[in-house]
Amino acid sequence: MSLIFEHHIKLDNITDSTIDKCVDVNAVTALTALFDSLTNTDNALSKAQLKQAISKGALWLTRGKHTQRLRRLKRAMQQGDELHFYYNEAVLASEVAAAILISDEVDYSVWYKPFGMLSQGSKWSDHCTISRFVQQHFPSERAVFIVHRLDKAATGLILIAHSKKAAQALSSMFENRTTNDNSLEKNYQIIVHGNHSINEQPQVITAEVDGKSARSTFRCLTYDQNKNQSLIEVKIDSGRKHQIRVHAASVGLPIVGDRLHGIADNNEPLNLQLCAVSLRFICPITQKTQFFQLSEVLRPQL
């Protein structure tokens, strides 16, 4: 069984019922404070284990009213600082394939997110997130902001902003799009169980998702009779959570590899066959039309 625990330290000599241990602040760094406070406990870790966990985003610093991840191992502590350490051995051992840079537009960049990569991290880590991957592959002075999200199990195009202004403008574009709004068009490809080729015309699905209106358009690209699977192009006019997965299942065409809304189980050899393959939008910063698409090799293969 993997080791999981939380540990909280206050850099002070004043006891506090919400803190596991108080540590004298004199000449203490984050690493030494954490190492010393865990020594002789059931959760004692070596400095090498602590360094690895901290590098993957398991340590947080609260200073005053602000809490943020802390990666600088030798950062000096101040009176009243609090360290929050979240250790999950299984999470920290997780690995994902590398993201791929599709285009760098200065104000933002476009990436291919692989299967299993998260859009955002948790208190336990952020090493398997697209945001952390971009941070590690761009200069440190270049800010990274998530604009929109893709499911962990999905693959495809995702935008990353590099300034607060760009993040606000691009996020607003995604959040405020409407059915008849041509300023943003997202296309996906999915592989589903069943024959969708019998629908000669695109199929519009308007089933609610979590009680909210949603609209998707399915168009069959090809059908493999031997597998009884269809490759479908999907356009969405709304961005509800798991919208495509819910809509596909609602019309009897569950997505291959979907363990949540489909028929796949833990023995399914394929990952979720859902990919964001193209993105067209009027850039709110330059007012120019931008179009990005994945090469065939990165798309679902029937």
Three-state DSSP class for 132? helix
CATH of domain 4-92: 3.10.290
CB proximity list for 190: less than 8 A, separation 6 or greater: 231, 232, 234, 244, 248, 255, 273, 274, 275, 300
Dist. CA 184–CA 159, nearest whole Å: 13
**Interval 54-80 mean pLDDT:** 92
Residue 234 host element (H or E)? strand 229-236
- What is the reported pLDDT for 289? 97
Residue 35 host element (H or E)? helix 30-38
Domain map (residue ranges) of the chain:
4-92, 100-298
Residue 14: which pLDDT band, with cuts at 50, 70 and 90? very low
Q: Which tens digits make up the pLDDT trace of 153-198?
A: 999 999 999 999 999 999 999 888 765 667 899 999 999 999 987 6
Asked if pLDDT for residue 41 goes beyond 50, the answer is yes
Dist. CA 165–CA 118, nearest whole Å: 23
CB proximity list for 280: less than 8 A, separation 6 or greater: 184, 185, 187, 289, 290, 291, 292
CATH 3.30.2350.10 fits 100-298, yes or no: yes
Q: Which amino acid is at 235?
A: K
Residue 102 token pair = 């599709």
- What is the reported pLDDT for 280? 96
Residue 197 token pair = 């080729």
Q: Which tens digits make up the pLDDT trace of 139-153?
A: 988 999 999 999 999
Q: Which residue has the higher pLDDT, 190 or 237?
A: 190
Residue 98: which pLDDT band, with cuts at 50, 70 and 90? very high
Calculate the CA dihedral of residues 285, 286, 289, 294 and round it to 10 degrees: -70
Residue 19: which pLDDT band, with cuts at 50, 70 and 90? low
DSSP state, residue 165: H
Residue 78: which pLDDT band, with cuts at 50, 70 and 90? confident
- What is the reported pLDDT for 199? 65
